[in-house]
Amino acid sequence: EYDGERNSEGERHGRGKAYLPNGDTYDGEYEHGFRSGQGTYRFRNGACYTGQYLQNKKHGQGIFFYPDGSKYEGDWVNDQRHGYGKYTYANGDTYTGEWFNDNRHGQGTYVYKDTGSKYVGAWVNGNQEGEAELIHLNHRFKGKFLNGNPVGRGKYVFDIGCEQHGEYIQSEQDKGEREEEEEPSLLVATKWKASEITKLTLWTPHGENPPCPREASQVAAAAEAAEEAAAVTEEE
């Protein structure tokens, strides 16, 4: 059922409202029989899209409200999230950044609502992968990620004024288990192996002397904090 404007050929053209057989509705602009321009599409399951269309497909800027309470606001290409946009998940987490073929892909920031931690860096086909920074309340990790886990060399930077350098390694047992699997597991356990602790390299714009190195006891405390942080990261 359609209620709206038509052109001389009888095609839906201009503004109109359509009631689809499956219970969905569309209220918006048409061009030569296709949903094209600005419109609102309401799904029977409670989902709703408000934004731009091109030949019946979501294309341009738009907001999609999903049945679970999550929503995406940003660019669409050929019915897929593609370009730049923000996704707010049902649990309150958010991802803001680049999208490619419906997946988080490129550079983006994921914020975990419960902890306030955030991942800032590279994504590949929806996964945390590449150079990135995992920022926590009082420290951060800089390094590389693969399938959401830190891998290889990196460093922990602590707000108390020191860094711990090292690398994430897999145990021999883990490697053996992975060889038997057809596909790599997304929950591979890696362990942090520290190599050194240094004080932060501070920038002094007016040539002041940098602060004195912290006392050995404070460095030792930083080492303990780093080990705890590594353990927390492994659990996550």
pLDDT tens digit sequence for 26-70: 999 999 999 999 999 999 999 999 999 999 999 999 999 999 999
Same domain, 47 and 114: no
Same domain, 103 and 78: no
Q: What is the CATH number of the domain that holds 145?
A: 2.20.110
The C-alpha angle with vertex 43 and arms to 39 and 45, in degrees rounded to 5, equals: 155
Q: What is the pTM of this model?
A: 0.78
- Phi, psi (degrees; rounded to nearest 5) at 220: -65, -40
- Count of CA atoms in the C-beta half-sphere (13 A) of 205: 0
Same domain, 1 and 67: yes
Report the distance separating Cα 110 and Cα 93, nearest Å.
Answer: 7
Q: How many domains does the chain have?
A: 2
Same domain, 18 and 3: yes
Same domain, 75 and 142: no
User: Considering the chain, what percentage of its residues have pLDDT values greater than 90?
Assistant: 69
- Per-residue model confidence (pLDDT) at position 172: 52
- Per-residue model confidence (pLDDT) at position 11: 95
3-state SS assignment for residue 70: coil
Same domain, 52 and 5: yes
Sign of the four-CA dihedral 162, 167, 173, 174: positive
- Per-residue model confidence (pLDDT) at position 141: 95
Lowest-confidence pick of 109-118, 142-151, 168-177, 188-197:
168-177
- pLDDT (mean) for 130-150: 94
Full residue range of the structural domain in which residue 20 is found: 1-84
Q: Is residue 214 part of a domain?
A: no
Q: Is residue 229 part of a domain?
A: no
Same domain, 195 and 120: yes
Say yes or no to pLDDT of 217 above 90.
no
Same domain, 80 and 138: no
Band of pLDDT at residue 185, cut at 50, 70 and 90: very low
Q: Is residue 220 part of a domain?
A: no
Say yes or no to pLDDT of 170 above 90.
no
Same domain, 100 and 117: yes
- Per-residue model confidence (pLDDT) at position 61: 98
Same domain, 131 and 51: no
Nearest one of 151, 229, 149 to 186, comparing CA atoms: 149
Q: What is the CATH number of the domain that holds 10?
A: 2.20.110.10
Nearest one of 84, 110, 222 to 156, comparing CA atoms: 222
Report the distance separating Cα 149 and Cα 187, nearest Å.
Answer: 8
Same domain, 123 and 46: no
Q: Is residue 208 part of a domain?
A: no
